[in-house]
Amino acid sequence: MTVSEFAFLALGLMLGVASGAAFIVISNARAPAVNEIRLTVTPNAIPRRRRSTLSEDAFSDHAEPARGGPAERPLDDREGELRWVADGTGMRTIVRSAPLPPAGAGDPESGAQGPVRIGGGSPWPAAGRNRLPLPASIVASYPAEPGRDEAPLVAVPIYPERDVAMAALRDSAARAAEIMMRAQATTEAGTATATAIATVGRWDAGFGAVVAYEATGSNGGTNGTRRRSTTLTPLGDGNESAAGGPCDEAERIADERCAVAIRARGQADAADEAVREAQRAYEERGAHANRAAVAAESSDMQVAKQSAQQAFRRARSEASTRDEIESAAASWLTEINRINQVARDAAMQVQRERQASAALMARIERLTVDADVARAAADAAELTCNAARAAVADCLEAATEQGSQPHVPMPPITPFPVAAIAHGSGVDVDEASPLESAVATSENEAAILRLLHGDRAMLDALVTRLGGADPAERRRWQLALAGLVDAIVATSIESSILTFPTDHPFWGEFSQSQSRDVAAALASLGFRFDGLGGWADDRIPSQRDLSLAAGYAGIDPMRIRRWPGEAETAELYRDVSVAADEYLRGAASGLTLGELVSALGRRADALTDVWNDWDRLRPLLLAGAA
């Protein structure tokens, strides 16, 4: 065997011994296998225990009432005759007061299972239900008589809370149903005098007016002598004995909208007064700043210092002792310090007054905008009130003409175009206008109405009739007609003459006239319809703005069942269209030059080409229906 073979064999032997020793050590170090028991605890497997001692069974039936508690007292135990035999400390470990029973005798069960009746009578029927017998040793440890008397039970009143919003909705629905039933009762003919009291309940104090109406007639209807009374009646008393008249709904709407107009006018006056107060404060601040600036000027300060120095020189020349000279110098320095302090104070006051003036200017601008909005809202509310009163007058006149027919259809209260109100049309409403006559007597629409509906073919036909084959004339007339249509549509939007979808979650709760009133109120607050299904200048109202607009329109915000969210408010005008044809029929039904100029207002200034050839254009616009 060579040396290398021997070394290789020795190395292998060493590695084998080391590996075996390591295996033995690892095997001995391993913990011996033990039998494991796995415990799985399911939810509610261990009962919840209150504070108790080992003397109480934690696994007893929890359906029973607590021993000695108020739940154990039966309903027929009004005088407290039943009570628990043990002491009131039922949760304490019981300590025997008697020796244990003899060995081997066991611990017999006692018949005590619950409350016992101290004054005779039938036993408690619920005492032994779901109860375990108590050991006799424990029962023996109870005292013979309770140590104290139980306190008498005290009744605690529990009242249901009142939901104000739901109560208001119920009251409104009840009053509306009551008014409808009384309106139906007016169909009974008779000669007796009927007194109708219409109660209008509102959620706000501004709408809490209660108006009484008295109508007399010989045939069960109204005879035109209907008068208003200011008798106040408690809301919702339900004691009214007479039925309402045919125009009660119109009068109620008029009262509500006029109340809103009064409140809006008061808010506008308060806003104007706030602007005036802010302007007076701004003027006072400006006067203070001017006086402080004069005091802080360097030229005035130099003059004061020179005067003080001259006074010092005179005093020094007149002084005969050193003390007098020092006194004059001290007076001079004191005066100089005073002048410098006054200048510094004046400069600081100028800065403060200027800052206050800047803040007041910003406040005045904000108050001015608020005052303009309040004034516009008040004007719109007054126009709505006047329109409602006119509708009431028409209803009463129609009721007088129809005689004994009690249910007169109430004319719709629609806002009159703003531009037409501002300029006045002077159209006789009793005479049929050419536009209305054309629409009523022809199967085809008038050309102007088709233009407002976006009929491109009609526009091309009119341009051909007016401009012929000349490209310049055709272009001029195309621009003129497009400008006329745009002006009518823009004025319709400004007057809130829009068509609202009836199946909309928000607009569907109102009539068309009410929706237009809300849109007009939103426009007065600065949130306008852009004519394309969105908001002008991307100014989207909040829910508070919508609530204000509903109030300005004479609608109780508490009656609105669902308010749109932020995303829904952004698309509130998505399905709304412009009723330009309806606006044109109401503001310029005769389609005369004076009517259109008055209806379009300032927009008529840019339509010079249209007005110059109006005699030629008007028959063409009315054609197509004639």
**What is the pTM assigned to this prediction?**
0.38
Asked if residue 92 belongs to a domain, the reply is: no
Q: Are residues 471 and 594 in the same domain?
A: yes
Helix (H, G, I), strand (E, B) or coil at 91: coil
What's the rounded Cα separation, in Å, for the pair 135 and 66? 19
Same domain assignment for residues 430 and 340: no
Assess whether 314 and 206 both reside in one domain. yes
- Name residue 259's beta-bridge partners: none
Q: Is residue 28 part of a domain?
A: no
Q: Which domain holds residue 565?
A: 422-622
The residue out of 409, 430, 448 marking a domain boundary is: 409
**Is 204 among the domain residues?**
yes
pLDDT at position 162: 62
Domain-embedded: residue 96: no
The alpha carbon of residue 187 and the mean position of all alpha carbons in its chain are separated, in whole angstroms, by 41
| Tens digits of residue pLDDT in 205-223 | 333 333 333 333 333 333 3
Which residue's structure tokens are 């009690």?
406
* pLDDT recorded at residue 526: 84
In a domain, 100, yes or no: no
Q: pLDDT tens across 381-432, in order?
A: 788 788 888 888 888 888 787 754 444 444 444 443 343 333 333 334 344 4
Q: How many domains does the chain have?
A: 2
Q: Are residues 358 and 483 in the same domain?
A: no
**Res 99: pLDDT:** 56
In percent, the amount of the chain with pLDDT more than 90 equals 0
Do both 361 and 469 map to the same domain?
no
Residues 6+ apart with CB under 8 A from 323: none
Domain assignment of residue 43, yes or no:
no
Last residue of a domain, which of 353, 379, 409? 409
Alpha carbon of 352 to those of 23, 214, 286, 293, 345: distances in Å?
A: 93, 65, 11, 11, 10
Do 371 and 449 reside in the same domain of the chain? no
Is 467 found in the same domain as 342?
no
SS3 letters across 139-203: HHCCCCCCCCCCCCCCCCCCCCCCCHHHHHHHHHHHHHHHHHHHHHHHHCCCCCCEEEEECCCCC
Choose the final residue of a domain: 344, 374, 409.
409
Answer yes or no: do 492 and 353 share one domain: no
* Nearest by Cα to 480 from 595, 612, 599, 588: 612
pLDDT reported for residue 613: 85
429 and 501 co-located in one domain? yes
Low-confidence ranges of the chain (pLDDT < 70): 30-35, 44-152, 154-157, 159-244, 298, 403-444, 624-626
452 shares its domain with 526: yes
Does 382 fall in a domain? yes
Report the interhelical angle of 593-600 vs 580-587 (nearest 10°). 120
Give the pLDDT confidence score for residue 602 in this predicted structure: 84
Question: What are the residues whose beta carbons fall under 8 Å from the beta carbon of 467, sequence distance 6 or more?
Answer: 473, 474, 475, 476, 477, 478
Q: Are residues 372 and 435 in the same domain?
A: no
Residue whose token pair is 């300029």:
423
Same domain for 431 and 400: no
List the structure tokens of 307.
């005067």
Residue whose entry in the numeric block shows the structure tokens 């401009």: 467
Would 486 be classed as within a structural domain? yes
d(CA 623, CA 557): 46
How many angstroms separate the CA atoms of 74 and 52, rounded?
25
Tokens of residue 119, six digits: 């004054």
Q: Are 466 and 623 in contact (CB under 8 A)?
A: no
pLDDT at 617: 86
